[in-house]
Structure 1
């Protein structure tokens, strides 16, 4: 089958649009959607200038999503003096897994000539995920611990580096799965946080100055297309799945969405279109009724509790 836009051989059939795309037009499409999302979300602040550039911190794990995100951002802003890119890789302490993805992240940052920083759970929390998975003091899936620790470090280092934006490589599938999980669980607070973190123009999100705004420029691109882009562009990517990955509920949602997408192309896009409206309403209501933020007694992080969730979990792990 030939490409819809030219006479080259197609490498992808995007069922939701009906388009057949060759390598050139697939890559062009992914890049176009990422850049359009940057414009739509107003990521480049009006005050950004060559004299006072914005710093964007990218969570670079070495997996396909973060590698594609970093590669396109570097290509887009290399010659733009208004934006400075910094990549941050977090080493969780997972033997035989994170070392290889760290190698991929380091190789990419070197090729793109962007600043690359590495932090670890061992240095920051005096623990490693291998040990957390073995002890599991809170009787939770390893991903639950890791998600809290990772979010904490991304936010902490975004603040330390004076970042104006924090960018992650979440794709359309990731976002649609999260949307359905929050909806099925009736988690209005998470819907509100999701809006404040990644949806809508930045000037509509929150008046709080305690958090660096987050952005997900790949959230309009399906996972399959991100993976194919990484392959065709011959980017250094670590494709292995984390050995501690055990989010059974998310995998159920993933299978449901893939089945629905196969039978009804465009389902993921429809889910996100409706969810964004619900999340915005939830965010506005949540801001009016949310509890006041204080400081964690141990680390000083913003929290509604005496101890933030990160300190609660690290205490439990060390006591186990």
Structure 2
């Protein structure tokens, strides 16, 4: 099958648009959507200058999404002195798995000449995920521990590096899955937080405890297109799944979404279009302003409790 845009051989078919794309036009399509998202979200403010540049921290795991994001962002702003990039890799302490993905991160950042920082659960919390999974003091899925620890370190080090934005590699499938999960769980608070954290121009958002804004420039790109982009660009990617991954509900939602997309192309886009509108309405009704947000008595992180969730989990893990 020929490419819809030229006479080259197509490497993929986007059923939701009907387009067949060759390698070159796939690259252009993915990159265009990322750059459009950057513009539409006003990620680069008008007052950014070479003398006062923006610092963007990218959460780089070595997986396809974060690698593609880092590659496109670096290429887009390589000659723009208004943006400085820092790639942040978090080592959870998963033998073999994270070591291999760290090698991919090191190769990419060396090839692209991007500053690369690595922080570990062991150094920060005296915790390694292999031990957490073995002991499991709170009787929770591994992802429940790891998600709390990871979010804490991303926020902590984005602040330490004076970041103006924290970028993560969430793709369209990730976002649509999260949207369905929040709706099926009736989690209005998370719907409202999605709007505040991920949508709209940065300068129109209400700052929460001076948290660094997060951005998801890949959120308009389907997962398969991200994977194909990485493969055809021959990017250093670690493709293995985490051996402790056990998000059963998300897995069910993922299977459901894939089936819906296969039978009804465009489902993911429709979900997100409706969800973003719903999130805006939820944000109007739900506000954190009435919440009693203070500081964790141990680490100083924003929390509605005396101690934040991360400190509570670290204590439980280290008490075993």
Superposition pairs of residues 43-192 of structure 1, within 5 angstroms: 43-192=43-192
Write the distance in 2 (CA, Å) between the matches of 1:33 and 1:238: 24
Could you say which residue in structure 2 is the equivalent of 1:216? Answer: 216
**RMSD value, Cα:** 0.9
User: Comparing 23-32 with 199-208, which one deviates more in the overlay?
Assistant: 199-208
CA 1:46/1:209 → structure 2, altered by over 3 Å: closer, same or farther?
farther
Could you say which residue in structure 1 is the equivalent of 2:16? Answer: 16
Structure 1 residue 318, shift from structure 2 partner = 1.0
User: Comparing 46-55 with 2-11, which one deviates more in the overlay?
Assistant: 46-55
Equivalent position SS for 2:238: coil
Q: Could you report, residue by residue, the CA deviation over 1:75-119 in whole angstroms, capped at 9, with x for unpaired residues?
A: 000100110010000000000100000000010000000100000
Structure 1 residue 123, shift from structure 2 partner = 0.3
User: Comparing 280-289 with 41-50, which one deviates more in the overlay?
Assistant: 280-289
Write the distance in 1 (CA, Å) between the matches of 2:250 and 2:290: 27
Write the distance in 1 (CA, Å) between the matches of 2:223 and 2:145: 24
Equivalent position SS for 1:271: helix
User: Comparing 149-158 with 190-199, which one deviates more in the overlay?
Assistant: 190-199
- Kindly indicate whether the alpha-carbon contact (under 8 Å) linking 1:58 and 1:88 is maintained by their aligned counterparts in 2: yes
User: Comparing 193-202 with 20-29, which one deviates more in the overlay?
Assistant: 193-202
Write the distance in 2 (CA, Å) between the matches of 1:210 and 1:293: 12
Write the distance in 1 (CA, Å) between the matches of 2:51 and 2:174: 36
Equivalent position SS for 1:66: helix
Structure 1 residue 281, shift from structure 2 partner = 1.9
Write the distance in 1 (CA, Å) between the matches of 2:289 and 2:52: 36
Paired residues, number: 320
Structure 1 residue 55, shift from structure 2 partner = 0.1
Structure 2 residue runs without a partner (length 5+): none
Structure 1 residue 209, shift from structure 2 partner = 4.7
Write the distance in 1 (CA, Å) between the matches of 2:209 and 2:147: 23
- Kindly indicate whether the alpha-carbon contact (under 8 Å) linking 1:89 and 1:117 is maintained by their aligned counterparts in 2: yes
Equivalent position SS for 1:134: helix
Q: Could you report, residue by residue, the CA deviation over 1:110-133 in whole angstroms, capped at 9, with x for unpaired residues?
A: 000010000000000100000111
Structure 1 residue 285, shift from structure 2 partner = 2.3
Write the distance in 2 (CA, Å) between the matches of 1:119 and 1:289: 33
- Kindly indicate whether the alpha-carbon contact (under 8 Å) linking 2:58 and 2:167 is maintained by their aligned counterparts in 1: yes
Write the distance in 2 (CA, Å) between the matches of 1:185 and 1:147: 18
Structure 1 residue 196, shift from structure 2 partner = 1.6
- Kindly indicate whether the alpha-carbon contact (under 8 Å) linking 2:209 and 2:302 is maintained by their aligned counterparts in 1: no
Write the distance in 1 (CA, Å) between the matches of 2:252 and 2:46: 42
Q: Could you report, residue by residue, the CA deviation over 1:160-214 in whole angstroms, capped at 9, with x for unpaired residues?
A: 0000000000000000000000000011111122122211111222133520000
Superposition pairs of residues 299-314 of structure 1, within 5 angstroms: 299-314=299-314
Write the distance in 1 (CA, Å) between the matches of 2:149 and 2:102: 18
Structure 1 residue 33, shift from structure 2 partner = 0.2
Write the distance in 1 (CA, Å) between the matches of 2:289 and 2:159: 26
Could you say which residue in structure 2 is the equivalent of 1:41? Answer: 41
Equivalent position SS for 1:43: coil
User: Comparing 166-175 with 195-204, which one deviates more in the overlay?
Assistant: 195-204
Write the distance in 1 (CA, Å) between the matches of 2:92 and 2:319: 19
- Runs (4 or more) in structure 1 with deviation over 3 Å come to none
The TM-score with structure 1 as length reference comes to: 0.98
Write the distance in 1 (CA, Å) between the matches of 2:92 and 2:63: 14
User: Comparing 272-281 with 119-128, which one deviates more in the overlay?
Assistant: 272-281
- Kindly indicate whether the alpha-carbon contact (under 8 Å) linking 2:54 and 2:84 is maintained by their aligned counterparts in 1: yes
Equivalent position SS for 1:166: strand
Could you say which residue in structure 2 is the equivalent of 1:268? Answer: 268
Structure 1 residue 288, shift from structure 2 partner = 5.9
Structure 1 residue 45, shift from structure 2 partner = 1.4
Structure 1 residue 139, shift from structure 2 partner = 1.2
Could you say which residue in structure 2 is the equivalent of 1:242? Answer: 242
